[in-house]
Structure 1
Amino acid sequence: MSSGNTVGTASAAHGAPVAGLPMYDWPELRDLNDRWWSVLRDALREEGFAAPAALARALSLEDLWLHPGLLVGQTCGLPYVRHLQGRVDLLGAPAYRLSGCRPGHYCSVVVVRADDDVGELCGLRGRRLAFNHPGSQSGEGALRHMVAPLAGGAPFFSQVLATGSHRAALRAVADGAADAAAIDAVSFELARLHEPATGKLRVLVRTPETPGLPLITASRPPREVEKLRNAVALSIGQLDAGTRAGLLLEGFVPFTPDDYRVISGRDAGAAALGYPDLA
């Protein structure tokens, strides 16, 4: 394929190609992500890209996202708009099976213990919050947007606990170490399948939706970006039904940077209300 060879040659200028799908790569899902990658890898090679044999799980998130040879990687919306936009190219977002969200979009759920009688978000004032880590759209940014008008520029929670992962935040609430947690809705649906702690929890409120976790690539010519988008969409369509169901995958939606302005706008809006960080 002459067009494929051209793409491969151009991509070589980025260095050794790497790929990663780290955002929902739980131990129970690694085999499924490897199956997705094997199909996506073949689709990329058909498009002429020198796709690596395996996902680069040893790289830190930051090293993956800014790797000069990044072919396909997944990031989070808040790091994308704060640090990555203009330094990488955006492909779009997978469409996950989520009720109440448009294809390619997602939200966060704020969970509390099932026996907690709190009835609305304002009832969490002075309570303890768990979240995955600072700078996460689903764990921090989405909730901060909702809490900022209630906080009045002052701390809203009595304690905020960064647990390192959504799964650990769920466990913190279930175990009584925190009273509430902000959880990526996709992670919560996966937790319903794989994390027993969800049996002790209920959803208090959902945050407004935003475009989902972006798939990105190193900066490259537009024609290569389009070929990458085609390969991603094709790979999801070619996955076996069990793998798609296990990963909650339903399709792929191409997005542009403008689509993610909603995240940067809400981030700036919370800061303007005197609530730049969860507190």
Structure 2
Amino acid sequence: MTRLVVSLGMYDHPAQQGANDRIWSAIVRILRTRGVEGVPDVLDRARHVHDLWRDPNLLFGQACGYPLIADDSLALQVIALPIYDVPGSTNSEATHASVLVARANDGRRSLVDYRDTRAAINDPQSNTGMNLFRATLAPIAGTNVVFASVVQTGSHRASVAAIAAGEADIAAIDTVTYATLVRHEPDLTAPLKIVARSPASPTLPFVTSADTSIETIAALRLALQQVMMDSRLADDRAMLGLTGIVTANADALAPIRALEQTAIRFGYPDLR
């Protein structure tokens, strides 16, 4: 039997891991009653999510939307979009945004004041850390270079830490991650301020391998719908800020592409 893999690594702060484990255990029980074989008991936390996205045995995971529209080598199917209830989200829709954060005491008051400063991004193919950052800057950037430098940190948390430590000046952090850091690591976010908010875009989609059958995708969608309604998981959903899902396919990610194209039309194709 093929050994399948599963991950919820995009929003898996140490304080949230127990909630993710319990939600996955509930999904496991539903999938097995629907006859899905080879369902893993536990989430894979040993491998980077980028590696898991490329695993043809990925049964269930969560991915950033920008690589799905920008990287043709990713063979993934979209199952659903989650709905989050956190500051900056639109509670009834499967959309979120980024907050552009900086040190509260840096003396700058508006986004235009951050020209020639140091930007931090988690990854060049991040929707919330790069694409939404670029979309927010494009109307004021024109064809000009905005930043003196752009450093890649590897994660949203690392970008926040870099700003707090004075190693960078501004970054775009997705609202779900930022709400988690405010709640569970208030000392890390206390020195920061929100300078601006990005346009909205679809939330990080739940995905599965391109090899996953139609029947298994249907079972996954059913399982997600049921765990969103299960009163026994209410505290776990609240820990994640998760309130529901919207069944979706890759077409739901079109607004991400539209934001990219708008930045290009403004003459600002690259965050720089």
What is the TM-score of this pair, normalised by structure 1? 0.88
Instruction: Give runs of ≥4 in structure 1 deviating > 4 Å.
Output: none
Q: Does 2:225 match 1:237?
A: no
- Cα distance change of structure 1 residues 153 and 211 upon mapping to structure 2, 3 Å threshold: same
- Cα distance change of structure 1 residues 76 and 84 upon mapping to structure 2, 3 Å threshold: farther
Q: Does 2:24 match 1:24?
A: no
Greater displacement, 65-74 / 146-155:
146-155
Displacement of 1:274: 3.8
CA distance in 2, matches of 1:248, 1:214: 15
Partner of 1:4: none
CA contact (8 A) 2:22 2:236 kept: yes
Partner of 2:126: 136
**CA deviations over 1:71-95 (Å, ceiling 9, x no partner):** 1110001011112698221111221
CA distance in 2, matches of 1:110, 1:92: 27
CA distance in 1, matches of 2:75, 2:19: 30
Which of 165, 175, 179 lines up with 2:169 in the alignment? 179
Name the aligned partner's letter for residue 191 of structure 1: L
Q: Does 2:81 match 1:88?
A: no
* Superposition RMSD in Å: 1.9
CA distance in 1, matches of 2:51, 2:122: 19
**CA deviations over 1:162-188 (Å, ceiling 9, x no partner):** 111111111111121121111010000
Q: Does 2:197 match 1:210?
A: no
**CA deviations over 1:113-166 (Å, ceiling 9, x no partner):** 222343322221111112212110010010111212322223201121211111
Partner of 1:47: 34
Partner of 2:114: 124
Which of 46, 51, 63 lines up with 1:75 in the alignment? 63
Which of 211, 214, 229 lines up with 1:222 in the alignment? 214
- Cα distance change of structure 1 residues 84 and 253 upon mapping to structure 2, 3 Å threshold: farther
Displacement of 1:251: 1.2
CA contact (8 A) 1:127 1:179 kept: yes
**CA deviations over 1:84-117 (Å, ceiling 9, x no partner):** 6982211112211124424321110001122234
CA contact (8 A) 1:28 1:194 kept: yes
Displacement of 1:21: 0.6
Name the aligned partner's letter for residue 170 of structure 1: V
Q: Secondary structure at the match of 2:190?
A: helix
Equivalent residue pairs, number: 266
Partner of 1:112: 102
Q: Does 2:259 match 1:266?
A: yes
CA distance in 2, matches of 1:44, 1:157: 48
CA distance in 2, matches of 1:223, 1:84: 25
CA contact (8 A) 1:43 1:235 kept: no
CA distance in 1, matches of 2:86, 2:217: 27
Q: Which runs of 5+ in 2 are unaligned?
A: none
Partner of 2:249: 256
What is the TM-score of this pair, normalised by structure 2? 0.90
- Identity %, equivalent residues: 36
Q: Which runs of 5+ in 1 are unaligned?
A: 1-11
Name the aligned partner's letter for residue 225 of structure 1: I
